[in-house]
Amino acid sequence: MLDSRFIAFEAVVREGSFEQAARSLSLTQSAVSQRIRQLESDLGQVLLMRTKPVRPTPAGRRLLPYLSQMRLLQTEADRALQSGGGSGAMRLSVGVNADSFATWFWPAVAPVVAQEGVVLDCVLDDQDHTHALLASGEVLGCVSTRREPMRGCVALRLGVMRYRCIGSEAFRRRHFPRGLSRSALGRAPAIVFGRHDDMHEAFLLHHFGLDKGQFPYHVVPSSEGFVAVASAGLGYGFIPELQVATQLADGGLIDLAPDKHEDVTLFWHHWEVQSPVMTKLCGAIVEGAGKVLPR
């Protein structure tokens, strides 16, 4: 269904060279070059920078997401025509932040994944960066903190992820016997996700005037790792309420600052034009998030 010139363009971007692209398409290199030149001439835009590796120009990059969309529609059409699957299961790529992935995401999508027999290609990234994955066409939809949809896209409000300052009771007794204070926080090991974890930094700076570099911290790039390190009494950190509801109820973990919390509003972004299956998946995501995240 996809024009052979677009297929050649996609292959060059994927492979990073005309030579490799030709090999992957079982064409000669000159046939690939010719198709690209025709496409560029028809569109009146240069699509590729002839560098090593070959990269798309800004115009080429703008084209890529549409090609991903077309691929998906093509797969869906093929499936409808074949009427019955085979190993060519439909792949839907999604960008998700780690905390959503560790909590509500899979329960939300499970029914659609099971019923439709699709497979998911999940890319985990920071909730402030997932959006770039959508813009580049790497994913068809993403969980993001961004409110405004980009051109050609839709943004739906998922709800509020509430983060609380969590640690174990033993940790509190050892480090905060008289509650949170600037001096105690300057010595108690925090848990942060990456070297730039804005939430923890902002909390200590805003409420206690502690700058980065004035408190010790473990770097733990895993949502479940956060809970494990906090449960072991080795640190404290900001964890979604949702993720530790059980531990908060049974006292395995406690809220160290019950009068303070940090809220992050999440949105689901997807392309306006999308396939019927992707529409179902988006519906399930919005519905599933809505069940557990306060609006």
Q: Which residues lie near a second copy (CB under 8 A)?
A: 85-89, 91, 98, 101-102, 106-107, 110, 113-114, 117, 119-124, 186-187, 189, 214-225, 228-229, 232-235
Compute the least distance from the CB of residue 149 to a second copy, in Å: 25
Compute the least distance from the CB of residue 112 to a second copy, in Å: 10
CB 204 within 8 A of CB 178: no
Residue nearer to a second copy on the CB measure, 114 or 249:
114
Residue nearer to a second copy on the CB measure, 45 or 247:
247
Residue nearer to a second copy on the CB measure, 37 or 91:
91
Compute the least distance from the CB of residue 40 to a second copy, in Å: 29
Rounded to whole angstroms, how far apart are CA atoms 163 and 223?
12
Residue nearer to a second copy on the CB measure, 31 or 120:
120
Angle at the Cα of 245 (from 243 to 247), degrees rounded to 5? Answer: 100
Compute the least distance from the CB of residue 117 to a second copy, in Å: 8
Residue nearer to a second copy on the CB measure, 88 or 152:
88
Residue nearer to a second copy on the CB measure, 123 or 154:
123
Residue nearer to a second copy on the CB measure, 39 or 165:
165
Check residue 3 and give left, alpha or beta (phi > 0: left; psi -120 to 50: alpha): beta
Q: Count CB atoms within 10 A of the CB of residue 218.
A: 14
User: Strand, coil or helix: what is 199?
Assistant: helix
Please state whether the peptide bond connecting residue 53 to the residue before it is cis, i.e. omega within 30 degrees of 0. Answer: yes
Beta bridge mates, 55: 49
Compute the least distance from the CB of residue 106 to a second copy, in Å: 5
Compute the least distance from the CB of residue 223 to a second copy, in Å: 8
User: Strand, coil or helix: what is 226?
Assistant: helix
Residue type, 139: V
Residues 6+ apart with CB under 8 A from 144: 95, 97, 127, 128, 130, 131, 134, 155, 266, 267, 268, 269
Compute the least distance from the CB of residue 33 to a second copy, in Å: 27
Residue nearer to a second copy on the CB measure, 36 or 282:
282
Rounded to whole angstroms, how far apart are CA atoms 197 and 98?
13
Rounded to whole angstroms, how far apart are CA atoms 41 and 51?
19
**Backbone dihedral angles phi then psi of residue 238, each to the nearest 5 degrees:** -85, 120
Q: How many CA atoms lie within 13 A of 6 on its CB side?
A: 14
Compute the least distance from the CB of residue 41 to a second copy, in Å: 33
